[in-house]
């Protein structure tokens, strides 16, 4: 009887260790996909990156991606913000002209009160791919 209890505890610990390694590898895989298109995580809910594309092209791509992926609640090209509901997460896309030739794209996503970095990553990558493919 005691051997079964010990075996159960060992299996439980092994499963926890396997899940821990699996989840750690997953987050690096996810962020690796963002890095491939020039982005990086700046907080648990935000992906950001810069591009040399024109501000108007970045705005058009971000708006198109937000409209396709979800429902846009607010948009203002003058202040460079788009708010949308995408995959159950509140997403805020900020576009800023940081120099004459570079534009910053920042995507923040939260589901309820929790960060949704996977949604932010998905939106960011789709915007960057849209820019690479052309409008």
Residue 111 lies in a domain: yes
> pLDDT per residue over 12-48, tens digit each?
455 444 444 444 443 433 444 455 556 788 899 999 9
- 60, 67 contact by CB (below 8 A): no
Any idea what the CATH number is for the domain that residue 55 is in?
3.30.310.80
Q: What share of the chain is helix, strand, coil (3-state, %, to 5)?
A: 50, 35, 20
Residue 56 lies in a domain: yes
pLDDT at 134: 75
Average pLDDT over residues 48-65: 96
Residue 80 lies in a domain: yes
Residue 59 lies in a domain: yes
Residue 20 lies in a domain: no
Pick 37 or 6 by higher pLDDT: 37
pLDDT at 1: 55
Predicted confidence band at 64 (pLDDT cuts at 50, 70, 90)? very high
Pick 113 or 67 by higher pLDDT: 67
Residue 28 lies in a domain: no
Locus of tokens 């997953």 = 26
Looking at residue 20, the DSSP 8-state letter turns out to be H
> pLDDT per residue over 106-132, tens digit each?
999 999 989 999 999 999 999 999 998
Distance, in Å, from the CA atom of 39 to the CA atom of 106, rounded to the nearest integer, reads: 9
Give the length of the chain.
Answer: 135
Helix and strand element counts for the chain (H, E): 3, 7
Looking at residue 135, the DSSP 8-state letter turns out to be -
Domain residue limits at 54: 37-133
Q: Please give the structure tokens belonging to residue 74.
A: 């607010």
Residue 52 lies in a domain: yes
pLDDT at 115: 94
- 82, 93 contact by CB (below 8 A): yes
Residue 24 lies in a domain: no
């Amino acid at each position: 009887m005691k051997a079964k209890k010990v075996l159960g505890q060992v299996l439980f610990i092994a499963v926890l260790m396997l899940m821990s390694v699996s989840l750690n590898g997953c987050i690096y895989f996810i962020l690796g996909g963002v890095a491939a298109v020039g982005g990086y995580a700046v907080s648990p809910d935000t992906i950001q990156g810069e591009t040399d594309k024109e501000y108007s092209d970045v705005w058009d791509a971000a708006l198109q991606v937000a409209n396709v992926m979800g429902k846009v609640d607010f948009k203002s090209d003058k202040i460079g913000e788009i708010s949308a509901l995408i995959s159950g997460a509140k997403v805020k896309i900020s576009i800023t002209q940081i120099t004459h030739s570079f534009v910053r794209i920042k995507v923040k996503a939260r589901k309820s009160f929790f960060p949704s970095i996977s949604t932010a990553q998905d939106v960011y990558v789709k915007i960057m791919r849209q820019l690479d493919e052309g409008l």
